Chains A and B, each alone.
Chain A
Amino acid sequence: MRRLLERSVTTLLRAACLFALVGLAVMCSSLVWPKALPVIFAMSVGHAIGASAFACFVVAVIIDARRAGGGRVSQPPSSRNEA
C-alpha cells in the first residue's frame, strides 16, 4: 500500500506536468491561430486540462502530506532504489 501511494504521488505529479504542458500548448495555439475553433477550444478544453493538472498536483501533495506525516521529505521510487 505504501509503495502504491509512493508511486501514485509520482505518477500524479508527472501526469499533472504532462496535462499542464498540453493545456498550455492548447492555450498558446489560440494565440498563434486565432480562428473560431482554436479560440473556443483553448477557452474550454485548454482550461479544463489545465485545471485537471492543478487538481492532480493538489491531490498528490495531499497524499504525500498524509503519508509523510508532515515532516518527511518523500523521494521518487527511482531515487530511493538508488539510495
Chain B
Amino acid sequence: MPHAGPWLAYVAFGTALAAAAILLRYLIQRPPLDLATKLWLFVGLGVLPSVAALASTVAGMERTTQREFCGSCHVMTAHFDDAVNPRSQSLAARHTRVPFFGEHSCYVCHADYGMYGYPLTKLGGLRHVYLYYLGGYDKLSLEQAKREIHLAKPYDNLNCRQCHTTTAHVWRDVPDHRSLEKELFSNKVSCSSAGCHGFAHPFTKNLPPLSVGKEGH
C-alpha cells in the first residue's frame, strides 16, 4: 500500500514550473539552436517533465487510495458519510476510526492483496470509473445507488485476515470461528454478515423499495 506524502506533489509542481520556465524562455526569446540551447531544451522537454510525470503519477495513484477520492462520486456519499461518522457503529465506520486505516479506509478493506494486488485493484477502479460515466451510475440518485450498486464479487475474507489473524488464541477461542473455519477460509461464510460481525455498510441492506413497481410488484 503506497503512502507517499504530499511532498511528491510539490516535486511535481516544482519540476513542472522549472520546465515551463525553460520552455517559455525559449518561446519568447527564440535563441539560436546551439548546443547550450539544445541542452536546455533537453532538460526542459525531457528531464524535468519526466520527473514531473513520475511524481504526479505516484502522487495521483496515492490520492486514489484516499477516502475522499472514493467519496468524490455522489453514489458513494452514503458510504463516505457513514465511514466518517464518529457515532456510527457499522463495521466500516469502526475500522475507519482505527489509525492504521485512517484516510485510506476504503482502500485498505477493498484492495486486492494478491501478488498483483495493486494493479488489479487499480484496474477494478477503472471499471468503477467506466460504470460511473458510461454505465449510467452518474444518473442514479443516492437512494437508487444504495439499492443498485453492489460488489462485483463476494467480499474476500482474506482481506479481513490481513489484520485479524486466525491463528491467535483470541480468534481460535471463539467457538463460532472454530466451527466455521473451513467455510470462512473458502468464503462460503462472510465475516461481515448479519449473524457474525454485521454488515460493513448496513444502510445498503434490506431497504424497502423506492416506490411501487410499474409491473405491480
| Partner among B9, B41, B53, B72 whose Cβ is within 8 Å of the Cβ of A46 | B53
| Residue B119 at the chain A interface, CB threshold 8 Å | no
> Does B19 lie within 8 Å of A28, measured CB to CB?
no
Please report the C-alpha to C-alpha distance between residue A35 and residue B128 in the assembled complex, in whole angstroms: 13
Please report the C-alpha to C-alpha distance between residue A14 and residue B25 in the assembled complex, in whole angstroms: 11
Give the A-B pair count, Cβ closer than 8 A: 107
> Does A36 lie within 8 Å of B73, measured CB to CB?
yes
The residue in chain A whose Cβ has the minimal distance to the Cβ of B56 is A27
Please report the C-alpha to C-alpha distance between residue A54 and residue B16 in the assembled complex, in whole angstroms: 14
Which residues of the partner chain A approach B59 to less than 8 Å between Cβ atoms? 31
Which residues of the partner chain A approach B34 to less than 8 Å between Cβ atoms? 73-74
A34, A54, A79: residue with the most chain B Cβ atoms closer than 10 Å:
A34
| Residue B132 at the chain A interface, CB threshold 8 Å | yes
Given contacts A31-B12, A75-B33, contact A20 B53 (CB under 8 A): no
- Distance in Å from the Cβ of A81 to the closest Cβ of chain B? 12
> Does B26 lie within 8 Å of A13, measured CB to CB?
yes
> Does A21 lie within 8 Å of B24, measured CB to CB?
yes
Please report the C-alpha to C-alpha distance between residue A78 and residue B26 in the assembled complex, in whole angstroms: 14
> Does B49 lie within 8 Å of A20, measured CB to CB?
yes
> Does B33 lie within 8 Å of A76, measured CB to CB?
yes
Which residues of the partner chain A approach B57 to less than 8 Å between Cβ atoms? 42-43, 47
Question: How many of chain B's residues have a CB under 8 angstroms from any CB in A?
Answer: 38
The residue in chain B whose Cβ has the minimal distance to the Cβ of A83 is B32
> Does B41 lie within 8 Å of A39, measured CB to CB?
no
Which residues of the partner chain A approach B16 to less than 8 Å between Cβ atoms? 24, 27-28
| Residue B46 at the chain A interface, CB threshold 8 Å | yes
| Residue A5 at the chain B interface, CB threshold 8 Å | no
- Distance in Å from the Cβ of B132 to the closest Cβ of chain A? 7
> Does A20 lie within 8 Å of B72, measured CB to CB?
no
The residue in chain B whose Cβ has the minimal distance to the Cβ of A28 is B16
> Does A36 lie within 8 Å of B49, measured CB to CB?
no
| Partner among B27, B41, B63, B133 whose Cβ is within 8 Å of the Cβ of A57 | B41
Query: 9 nearest interchain CB pairs?
Result: A17-B23, A34-B63, A24-B16, A73-B34, A27-B56, A57-B45, A74-B33, A39-B60, A75-B32
With A27-B52, A57-B42, A74-B32 given, can you name 13 additional A-B contacts, CB distance below 8 Å?
Answer: A10-B33, A13-B33, A20-B45, A28-B16, A35-B72, A36-B64, A42-B57, A46-B56, A53-B49, A61-B38, A73-B34, A73-B35, A76-B32
Please report B residues at the A interface, Cβ cutoff 8 Å: 9, 12-13, 16, 19-20, 23-24, 26-27, 30, 32-35, 38, 41-42, 44-46, 49, 52-53, 56-57, 59-60, 63-64, 69, 72-73, 126, 128-129, 132-133
